[in-house]
Amino acid sequence: MPIQEKNYWLETLNSVPEKSLRDLPENVDVAVVGAGFTGLSAARALAKRGVSVALLEAETAGWGASSRNGGMVLTGLKLPAPTLIKRYGKEVVRQMYAASLDSIDCVERIVREENIDCHFSRCGHLEVACKQAHFDSYEQSAALVQREFHHELRIIPKNELRAEIGSDIYFGGLVDETSAGVNPARYVAGLAQAAQRAGAAIYEYARVENVEPLTNNGARKFLVRTSRGTLAAREVLLASGAYTTDATPALRKKVIPIGSYIIATEVLSDTLARELSPRNRMIYDSKHFLYYYRLTPDNRMLFGGRAAFFPANENTVRQSAEILRRGMIDVYPQLRETKVEYVWGGTLDFVFDVMPHAGKMEGMYFAMGYAGHGVAAATWLGARLAGLMCGDANDIPYTNIRFPAAPIGLRSGQSWALPLAGAYYKILDWFT
């Protein structure tokens, strides 16, 4: 079978959300911009509380990063706990870590309540150390997480690593049994159907072109202009991630859209699959310019990474297929003769401090910057922002941390500096 430039996950879909052919309503309580994990989770939670919701999606529900990722439902954050504590202090990081654990439960609860067939599995994740210094830092991180957050991480020395991964190139590993795996395309489709059942309306191919505040008799609203018409909303949630446009320029200045790419092999034998990943973990390495990989439910090796920093297009997807194949063989020489059957790319919302952010900007709610933890974090933050709109207490630890703007050359829509960013992270990997 020749390599197909298409998203493997989408090939597994057994149902899709109903398409709304109706005109946009004149007024809603909440307009949600973007029908990915964040927007759909928020819409479901709002609709269940009797709030009228219009989800405005430029493409189709789940079209962006939500259906294109590796399907890893991960605890923790991108940055190690000692770095986070130095930056934000123990109490704030304690809240962040508790939120990351709760986010896994949140996904599992939705999957169970909505009966979403998406192969959700608490298989745990494995971080593998690319250098001895990286492995040496695991012991400090694990001890700190146990002491401060009462969560257990397990150190795997190099001589025991074969029980976790069929590769000899790493210096050890760190296991968190709480993390999970999921088919992201099935999950996001199920989340969309759940939001619709609750009463939210999804308007596809409704690209938001402008959002402006209105004041009528002292009451504030927003006028949202889209390619399918205009509506007024009491509140707006910006859940557009890397696809944020000039319709909301203040938020666009914060995000750096970068490419992430994935290949999937032909179906492997049960024996080979067990050799590669004996415990079926979600696996990623310790580099900044990292690889992440896992087995799919039908025993393909899915292997992804930042093969190119540019957002996905036809050329970068093709080039990435060979780069990732070489990386996969470096990790797993056993796959040298294995065929790659799928390659695809997506665009992620990278932010300059590598942290999730949420809250309000120019009167509108927003969430973004999940840094590889988006399946869980986006679901949790969407539900929590819905709660804020309904008057719940704010228990989101990311609303009060500083949110730096991206350097001007890396802002959304300006890609000339992205190769420099890629080179910077490669150099950082070389020296750290």
* Cβ(345)–Cβ(268) below 8 Å: no
DSSP string covering 7-59, please? -GGGGG-S--PPPP-SPPPSEEEEEEE--SHHHHHHHHHHHHTT--EEEE-SS
H/E element, 216: strand 208-216
List residues bridging with 253 in a β-sheet: none
The model's pLDDT over 112-124, given as tens digits with 9 standing for 90+, comes to 999 999 999 999 9
Is pLDDT of 428 > 50? no
Is pLDDT of 409 > 90? no
| Distances from the Cα of 353 to the Cα of 60, 78, 254, 358, 405, angstroms | 30, 10, 10, 14, 9
Mean pLDDT for 389-417 is 78
Is pLDDT of 1 > 80? no
Is pLDDT of 430 > 60? no
DSSP string covering 272-332, please? HHHHH-TT--EEEES-SS-EEEEE-TTSPEEEEE-S-SSPP-HHHHHHHHHHHHHHHHHH-
* Cβ(40)–Cβ(69) below 8 Å: no
% the chain with pLDDT above 70 = 91
Among 123-137, 268-282, 352-366, 403-417, the least confident range: 403-417
Is pLDDT of 8 > 60? yes
Q: State how far the Cα of 400 lies from the Cα of 178, in Å rounded to an integer.
A: 27
Is pLDDT of 427 > 70? no
% the chain with pLDDT above 90 = 78
DSSP 4: B
Is pLDDT of 347 > 90? no
DSSP string covering 79-116, please? S-HHHHHHHH-HHHHHHHHHHHHHHHHHHHHHHHHTT-
Confidence of residue 370 (pLDDT cuts 50, 70, 90): very high
More confident residue, 299 or 289: 299
Q: What is the mean pLDDT of the chain?
A: 91
Highest mean pLDDT among 47-56, 280-289, 364-373: 47-56
* Cβ(230)–Cβ(25) below 8 Å: no
Q: Where are the domains of the chain?
A: 8-431
* Cβ(223)–Cβ(236) below 8 Å: no
Is pLDDT of 412 > 80? no
Q: At what angle do helices 90-113 and 184-198 cross, to 10 degrees?
A: 80
Is pLDDT of 42 > 50? yes
H/E element, 428: helix 418-431
Q: Which residue has the tokens 């050329």?
A: 315
Burial (CB count within 10 angstroms: exposed 0-12, middle 13-18, buried 19+), residue 377:
buried
Residue 408: per-residue pLDDT: 62
Is pLDDT of 9 > 60? yes
Closest-CA residue to 306 (of 143, 422, 138):
422
* Cβ(239)–Cβ(39) below 8 Å: yes
The model's pLDDT over 133-173, given as tens digits with 9 standing for 90+, comes to 999 999 999 999 999 999 999 999 999 999 999 999 999 99
The CATH number assigned to the domain with range 8-431 reads 3.50.50.60
Cα 381 versus chain centre, distance: 12
